[in-house]
Amino acid sequence: MSEHRKAIIIGGGPAGLSTALRLHQTTNIKCSIYELRPEPTTLGGAIGIMPNGLRLFSRLGVYEALHARGSSRSNLVIHSAQGGIVGKQEDMVSYARAQTGFGYLRIKRADIVDVLLDAVYKAQIPIHFNKRLTAIDDNGDSGVTVTFSDGSTDKADILIGCDGIHSCVRRLYVGPDQRPEYSGLSALSSLVPTSRLHSDAAAQISGIGATLTEQGIFMVMLATAAGDEVAWGLSQEVPLPDAGDSRDGWEVYRQKEVNGFKSNMHQILEKVHGDWGDLLRQLVEDTDVIKFYPIYRLPLGGAWYKGRCVLLGDAAHAMQPHAGQGVSMALEDTFLLARLLEDPSRPVAEVYKKFDEIRRPRVNEIYKLAARNAGVRKTTGPWGLWSKEVLVGMAFWASWALGLEKWGWGQKHMAYDIDTEEI
């Protein structure tokens, strides 16, 4: 084997870029990144990153740059449809913050990619756009060769699939039979400039505001450090669109289609009263572009590696976003794999096997947590909504009255540190 090992990374999103950076920092592995899209994608709205993920971004050396772009306000308010407040927390990550030294960050996905790309370019890690993977030839001890649709090829010691839930690496080689399944939930979201809102309405937005409705949860949060953009999203139970389209999501621009979505949301929000309800309706009305995102997941138990190829992040274990851990799970994968690959003499088969043994229990835990959290988003009637509000209110009250936050209730998974795992 040469002095420097080589890795091919498929996928130029947060998972692929972070993996290249970490391998560059801690191993003798030289990486090349290949991205399907012709340029960095702007698809996706604002993403929440919990303390366990922010701690790893700090070790990656990009935390300050991310923090300068995103909103770190972590106060949470649950509004009732009747106009009151069901429950609130001054800091929804207080325990995890005390344990890790990091809080919460809401940031646009495009900003995450931009910051990571800047770090990749500074590290002189090559990234190639407009590269569609068409074939994988695993040659065992002599490495792995990949072929792209333009006829070009590349060869490396290992292949890392960071290409998301619809992974080509998984489909072509690692697990062709592993297919994404629709969760039953979809999300509508957008970003609205704060300047479009009335001053009294904008003043209501601080941190995260959520409203329970009969058709799901409507969430509002600041998406930038300057507070000049507001992210809103409606997560609801809906049948799979007739087209059966399993894309990661798409943006709706045409005025007729946008107005159709707006009309449906206004019907949902008719039953939300008070100043907060007025704010939600104004946000919808001031929206120009709507992102539609059918939420898919990968069934648990699938293969994560084969031969010299391994899958990370959503390519391996895509879960519902309702635990706020998608990016953080990919980062944990990245950091563990990098540690396991530090020793060049360690066989790849042993590395991947150990990676699977350590990661799978943690991934299963968060996967199931996200699925449980999705339950409150299911369609219900007036009495069902009332019962949800009562249960949520009781949970907030119990947390305050019994001091459960101080003991890590609901937050211990956010304080987890992948670097403490024995390898």
Number of C-beta neighbours around residue 217 at 10 A: 21
pLDDT at 251: 58
pLDDT at 377: 76
Pairing relationship of beta strands 208-213 and 181-193 according to DSSP bridges: unpaired
* CA angle centred on 377, ends 371 and 381, rounded to 5°: 135
Which tens digit of pLDDT belongs to each residue from 215-260? Answer: 888 999 999 999 999 999 888 887 766 655 555 555 555 556 677 7
Report residue 392's pLDDT band, with 50, 70 and 90 as the boundaries.
Answer: confident
Report residue 2's pLDDT band, with 50, 70 and 90 as the boundaries.
Answer: very low
Q: For residue 196, what are the contacts with CB-CB under 8 A and spacing of at least 6?
A: 286
